[in-house]
Amino acid sequence: MKPIILVIVSLSFAAASIMTAEQISIVQASFDEVKGDPVGILYACLKADPSIQEKFPQFAGKDLEVVKGTPEFKTHAKRIVGYSLKVIYELPDMERDVDTFVASHKPRGITHEQLDNFRAGFVTYMKAHTDFAKSESAWGASLDNFFGMIKSKM
Nearer to ligand HEM, 6 or 113 (CB): 113
User: Binder to ligand HEM among 80, 102, 120, 143 (CB under 6 A)?
Assistant: 80
Site for ligand HEM in 105-134 (CB under 6 A): 105, 108, 110, 114-115, 118
Q: How far is the CB of 1 from ligand HEM (least distance, A)?
A: 34
Query: Which of these ranges, 12-20, 26-34, 76-84, 134-142, lies near ligand HEM under the rule CB under 6 A?
Result: 76-84
Distance CA 42, CA 135 (A): 20
The reply on whether position 17 binds ligand HEM by CB under 6 A is no
The reply on whether position 55 binds ligand HEM by CB under 6 A is yes
